[in-house]
Structure 1
């Protein structure tokens, strides 16, 4: 791969971002990057060859960094109120329970044999997308406090389980690899916690900043890539390695300087490469050859909303319930890893992405009503505080 080709990839990623972030469209930037990859890849003009090893490797770096950033965005349960935590966990459990029969029904109807995979996809939420979309609004209202543990648990459950359901024939081998990565992440958390509690981490960051060595970023990348190497060795997707490392760092408290550096490295270079590569690797023409996969994608998206509105029975506002159905990281991971393992049917990867894009499109529509719920609850809390002060 030449510098010219790399420049073209990043340029088309910028073009895709510009299209979907217009005020009238306002969709996540990844949709534009995926779209440009589809246009220039196997589905479209064939300018970008997703089978080139250099392109694949750069994309895999983007994938693992993307999952690391997603892991750092998962809120810590330790900071949440017990009632809100219990409510959020119960709602996530309800969604998971409903997802199982839906996954089985879809698998049998379409004859794919992927009931467990569909159940995991339906259960999943994208905490990173949801929190990013609501980042400018206060999240201290009861609906938000209860939604955060719900989507965090859905993320924390779906990503480790996904490699297991993709290769049920090698369940023990995959489970041992996943456990090894999780164990390393736990050790990383313990070490980081010790360094933070004893002041070593703060002194190290101060010294690194003074010497302009960017050592936090370098060491973080070493850890991420070592976990990625472990994932490759054990036959587990690198998504789990990145996500587990992100969870460990996020649980301790990611320094703002490191967060900015990692965000810049990921979103500025490697994540766009990954999404353009992934779009280029998709062959949407297979949907024409296998039209039932279009129906699969639509019904998967519908099933996600059906499962996620069940918590409405527990008092969750409908618009927020619909918002929790948004999924992107898990379907992308499922399609990417499934293709690499050769376990998906022709056109099934595109069907998974179609279901994800449906959830993104619908939740984009309900974003404004959700904002109204947040503002109403925030105003009510402010009013209560004023009344309490007066009394």
Structure 2
């Protein structure tokens, strides 16, 4: 990768905010970034080489920070959300059971033996998508609290489950790796909480703010990349490492200034770079060569929304169920890891990303309807 290519990638990342600019549409920023990558990557003009090692490494950094942000978005310290954990757990469990049946059915219908992968994809939610939508549209009330708990539980469970189902032959190794990453995250949380209780964190904060050292930001990045290093060493996706680091930081409370600094690095460069890279590596021409995968993508996307809407039978409004179906981290990891391992067949990666876009579009529409009905 050259500086000229890097400049092009950063410029393409601006397509995200431009496409999301009309407020009435409520389009997610990543949509424009993915489309820009698709146009300039393997599917379109083929100007961007998604196999470039430097491009891949920078994209991995972006993915780690995307999952870190998702972890920090989980409101583990909010007493109201903790009180809604019971309802959230029941709903996530119901979705998981229905998704297991739906995943098997889709796999059988298309003759692909990936029923377990499809089940995890359909059951997954995304705190990185759903919670910012909730905040931006100022949705509130008991149903939203239960939704928040449900999304957090489903997101965490599916992130842990994906490595186990995508490579069943090494499921034991993946399980051990997940336990190691979780244990490191717990140790990280305990150390951070100790520093907070002793006042050391406050002292570092004051010195850093006064001297412009950005020490807390540097420490946060060390924690994220260190845990991703542990994940890689134990043959687990960096998705789990980034997410676990985010949960550890969320457990003690991320300082607002640090959150803004991490947001600037992530959303200003690395996250857009990752989504442009992801779009560039997708070959949507495969969908033309294998048109049945268009139907697979629609089946997975609409199926995921339908699966989440089954919680209507236990009292959750349909719009909240559709919002909980929004996905990003788990499908992206499935495409990334599945492609690396050679697990996915040609066209399947594109089908999974098509399904992801379907869930985001439907969740955005559902959230817009909720916002329109909310009292002013």
TM-score (norm 1): 0.92
Aligned to 1:342: 342
Aligned to 1:216: 216
Residue 23 to residue 172, structure 1, CA distance change in 2 (3 Å) = same
1:15: Cα distance to partner? 2.6
Structure 2 residues without counterparts, runs of 5 or longer: none
1:198: Cα distance to partner? 2.1
Residue 364 to residue 272, structure 1, CA distance change in 2 (3 Å) = same
Q: How many residues align?
A: 376
Aligned to 1:255: 255
Cα contact 1:99–1:122 (8 A) shared by 2: yes
Cα contact 1:72–1:249 (8 A) shared by 2: yes
1:136: Cα distance to partner? 3.7
1:152: Cα distance to partner? 0.8
1:188: Cα distance to partner? 0.4
Separation in 2, partners of 1:85, 1:24: 32
Aligned to 1:119: 119
Separation in 2, partners of 1:155, 1:99: 14
1:244: Cα distance to partner? 0.4
Structure with greater Cα Rg: 1
Q: Does 1:153 align with 2:156?
A: no
Q: 1:67-216 maps to which residues of 2 (within 5 A)?
A: 67-76=67-76, 79-80=79-80, 84-216=84-216
1:77: Cα distance to partner? 6.3
Write out the 4+ residue segments of structure 1 that deviate beyond 2 Å after TM superposition. 19-26, 80-85, 136-140
* Partner SS state of residue 102, structure 2: helix
Residue 23 to residue 372, structure 1, CA distance change in 2 (3 Å) = closer
1:19: Cα distance to partner? 2.4
1:314: Cα distance to partner? 1.6
Encode CA deviations 1:259-283: one digit per residue, 9 max, x unaligned.
1111100010001110101100000
Cα contact 1:12–1:36 (8 A) shared by 2: yes
Separation in 2, partners of 1:300, 1:111: 14
* Partner SS state of residue 80, structure 1: helix
Higher alpha-carbon deviation: 140-149 or 281-290:
140-149
Separation in 2, partners of 1:236, 1:81: 29
Separation in 2, partners of 1:60, 1:126: 19
Aligned to 1:384: none
1:21: Cα distance to partner? 3.0
Q: 1:258-269 maps to which residues of 2 (within 5 A)?
A: 258-269=258-269
* Partner SS state of residue 14, structure 2: helix
Separation in 1, partners of 2:52, 2:174: 27
* Partner SS state of residue 344, structure 1: coil
Higher alpha-carbon deviation: 204-213 or 352-361:
204-213
Residue 136 to residue 53, structure 1, CA distance change in 2 (3 Å) = closer
Separation in 1, partners of 2:211, 2:141: 42
Separation in 1, partners of 2:53, 2:309: 42
Structure 1 residues without counterparts, runs of 5 or longer: 380-391
Separation in 1, partners of 2:294, 2:30: 21
Residue 273 to residue 138, structure 1, CA distance change in 2 (3 Å) = closer
